[in-house]
Structure 1
């Protein structure tokens, strides 16, 4: 009796071990409920799409990233604005040459009475004759300042946003004007002025030239761009 019982227990043990081995080796099929399979399939097919995308080290909502403006620099197209600067420079130097050859020093020639005269004058300083009587060192100071400004404007025109046409125009006008007055300082040590705006003998505006007009108009355009247009480009 005991021997029969031992044989029976041994047979059961072998059956259990065999079943365990088959399950471990994936030899025994496992029934899967069709309902569960359907639910899992639907769950996988309806996985939510990514609502955020990574940009560098930050995470940005996908829709917002698509609407972010793409700032494309002028790059090689900056040559268009360089042409404008060259036009300002040529006009400035040509009108100064005419003033020096056709006008007598400090002898007004009426153009539009009583508002505008051509009057040849020389400025050893900066705008409005600032530091005009400083003793000569101001020539190199303002020449160096104009040279640095010209380099800065040249580089900035390349990197400026292509869409910011008003900004680029202002930079080009400033560049042409800065180089125009720089040539005067290096060539003759002073700036040639000849445009005299006034009202009879009651009011007189300091004499200026085409280069000064380019610089002033350029600054005005840049300010207008900064106040009214830059924020719209960044939206």
Structure 2
């Protein structure tokens, strides 16, 4: 696969994730009030919340410093992944996909953190009264990228 095709694939995936993430979060902001729920399926709600912290609301109760700290950490991670992608010359399409999904998701959440000071989360999977952590499209993209990365690099 040529470098041009690799770059095109990477940029396409990253932009797709960012656009879908931004559009979904804007829809949530316009259609669901903060802390309100809209049932989609019996196991899926849209529940509009603002996460001032990181994964599973880590640092969310701090006094504001976490906004810039987490933004800097996100930016550093994005730069490390981009640098890693550039170094790999004969990379497989799955590796590019994994890294691109992670970058797209990280940028999606970074945009929220910079512009709002928090990340907009809204996807609420649940079984009866047990609810998983609330997340968004960017989080899904990061998770999927990590799963693909682990599958490629840690075959059993």
| TM-score, normalised via structure 1 length | 0.63
Conserved 8 A contact 1:150-1:175: yes
Q: Unpaired runs of 5+ in structure 2?
A: none
Structure 1, unaligned runs of 5 or more: 1-71, 230-235
State the aligned residue count: 155
**Aligned pairs for 1:46-125 within 5 A:** 75-76=3-4, 77-113=6-42, 115-125=43-53
How large is the Cα RMSD of the aligned pairs? 1.6
Check if 1:222 corresponds to 2:149: yes
Q: Which residue does the alignment assign to 1:34?
A: none
Preserved contact between residue 81 and residue 157 of structure 1 (Cα < 8 Å):
no
Contact 1:119 1:195 in 2 (8 A): yes
Deviation at 1:131?
A: 0.7
Aligned to 1:194: 122
TM-superposed deviation, 1:164:
1.7
Give the superposition deviation at 1:228.
Answer: 2.5
- Structure 2 counterpart of 1:158: 86
Measured in 1, the distance between the counterparts of 2:89 and 2:152 equals 12
Contact 1:125–1:138 (8 Å) recurs in 2: yes
Q: Bigger relative contact order, structure 1 or 2, given CA contacts below 8 A and separation 6+?
A: 2
Aligned residues of 1:75 and 1:159 also touching (Cα < 8 A):
no
Aligned counterpart, 2:72: 144
